[in-house]
Amino acid sequence: MPKESIQVGLIGLGTIGVGVAKILLENKENLARRAQVPVILKAACDLDITTDRGVDFSTVMMTTDATEMLKDSDIDVIIEVIGGVNPARTFITQALKAGKHVITSNKEVIAKHGKEFLEVARENNVNLYYEAAVGGGIPILHGLKNSLSANNIEEVFGIVNGTTNFILTKMTEEGADFETVLKEAQALGYAEADPTADVDGYDVAYKLSILAGLAFNSHFSYEDIHFEGIRQITANDIAMADAMGYVIKLVAIGIAREENSVELRVHPVMIEKKHPLASVNDAFNAVFVSGNYIGDAMFYGPGAGELPTASAVVGDLMDIAMENEMERSHPSMSTDFEEKKVVPIAETTSAYFLNLVVKDEAGVLAAITKICKEYSISICKIDQEYASGGEAGLILVTHKVCEGNMQKALAEIKELTQVLKVNNLIRVGL
C-alpha cells in the first residue's frame, strides 16, 4: 500500500539545504496536493544547528548526528546536500542500505561513486536521484531519462558551470583580466575561496561524466575525460575572439562515435556569436542535446543558487512521491549499462586558434607553415597582431585537424628560435 506520508531527513544546512528546507516548510500544502500525501521535513542535520538561517525549524527535529536520522525507520527519504566525497559517500551508502531513497545535489560524489550507489540502491529496492548535481535548476537529467528516452542521443554539450561562465562574461563585457574578475566573483559568492574545482575544469568534468552516462547509457569515470579550465584565458584572447566574431566559453562536449566509443572533453571553445550558447551569460547554464528523432533541443536556466538548485532537489522528491502513489515496488533507474570507451583526446578533431609571440624578422612564417604542412594542418587565417621592439604578435587559425597532430606541431613550433612565446591554443567551433 502507498505510504500515508513522505517523511524526509535533510543532511546539510548550507545554501542549498536552507533552500530545500524553505520549499518543504513554506510550500507544504502545494507539495502535498501534488504528491497526494503530506511531504514532511521530519529532521535536519548540520554541524551548526544554532545559527538563525531565516527558516522556522520549530516543527523539525534538529541534530548534529546524521546517524540519528539514518536509523529512524519513519524517514523514507534522505536528502544529502553537504558536498564533497566524505562523509557524503558514507551517509548515502548507509541510507540506501537502510532502505531509504536518497536525493543528492553532490556532483563530485556521484561522478566518483555513482555506479556503486546505483548497485546498492537496486540491492535494497530503493532509488537514487541527483537532478540537482548538473545544471542547477535545469531539468536536464530528467529530460535525458524520460522525455528524450525514445532517442539515441548523438551529442550532448553545453555550459554547466556558473562560476566560470560568470567570469568569462565579465571578462568579455569589461575587458578585465582573469585574476581581477575572479576576485570579484569570490566577493559576490559566485566563486569559492579555493576556486580550483571550478576554474580548472574539475566541476565540469564531474558533470559531463554524469550527463554522458545518462545520454549514452554507460558509465564514464571523470578521470577518463580530458579537461582544461580557464586560468590561461586572457583579456587579449577574448578581444581577438570578439574581433573574429567569436566568444569564449568553457564547454562540456560529449559525442557518440562508432564501435561503442564516445568523445568526452571539457575545455574553452571559441563559439560563433550567432550560436545560441554564445548568448548564455553570467551564472546561467545551457545544455544542447541532439537525438536521432527529436533533432536538437536546448535546456536553459539558472545553473546554481539556493532556490533553483533546491527546486531541482524537491523535484526529485516529487518523483519519489509519484512512485509511492503508483505503489511501485522496484527501482525506476537502470543499471543495465553498456560498455563504452572514451576516445583519447589525441584522436579528436577541431579547428584551432594559435596565438604566438615571434621575432619580427623574415622567414618566421615560412618556418611555422612548414611544420604545419608536415602534420597536415591547413591554415585558414593568418594575422599579425602587432610589431614592436623586434617582436610581433602572430595569430593562426586552422581548419579542422587531428588533436594529436596539432599538439606535435605545437611542440616543434615552440622549439623554433624565432618563436619567443606561445600565448594560447584555443579550440574553435562546436
The answer to whether 244 touches 263, Cβ cutoff 8 Å, is: no
- What dihedral angle (degrees, nearest 10) is formed by the CA atoms of 29, 32, 34, 35? 170
CA gap 141, 307 in Å, rounded: 18
Helix (H) or strand (E) holding 353: strand 349-359
Residues ≥6 apart with Cβ < 8 Å to 231: 178, 199, 200
CA gap 44, 65 in Å, rounded: 10
The answer to whether 41 touches 56, Cβ cutoff 8 Å, is: no
Find out whether the peptide bond into 87 is cis, omega within 30 degrees of 0: yes
Q: Which of 207, 359, 373, 408 is catalytic?
A: 207
Name the E strands within 69-219.
77-80, 101-104, 128-129, 153-159
Give bridge partners of residue 163 from the DSSP assignment. Answer: none
User: Which sign, positive or negative, has the C-alpha torsion 145, 147, 152, 155?
Assistant: negative
> Is 207 labeled as catalytic in the residue annotation?
yes
Residue 244, number of CB atoms within 10 A of its CB = 15
Residues ≥6 apart with Cβ < 8 Å to 370: none
Please state, in angstroms and as integers, the Cα–Cα distance from residue 362 to each residue in 65, 318, 365, 414, 418, following that order: 72, 69, 8, 18, 10
Give bridge partners of residue 396 from the DSSP assignment. Answer: 354, 382
CA gap 20, 211 in Å, rounded: 23
Question: Which amino acid is residue 85, in one-letter code?
Answer: V
Per-residue cell: 367: 618556418
The answer to whether 89 touches 116, Cβ cutoff 8 Å, is: no
Catalytic residues: 207
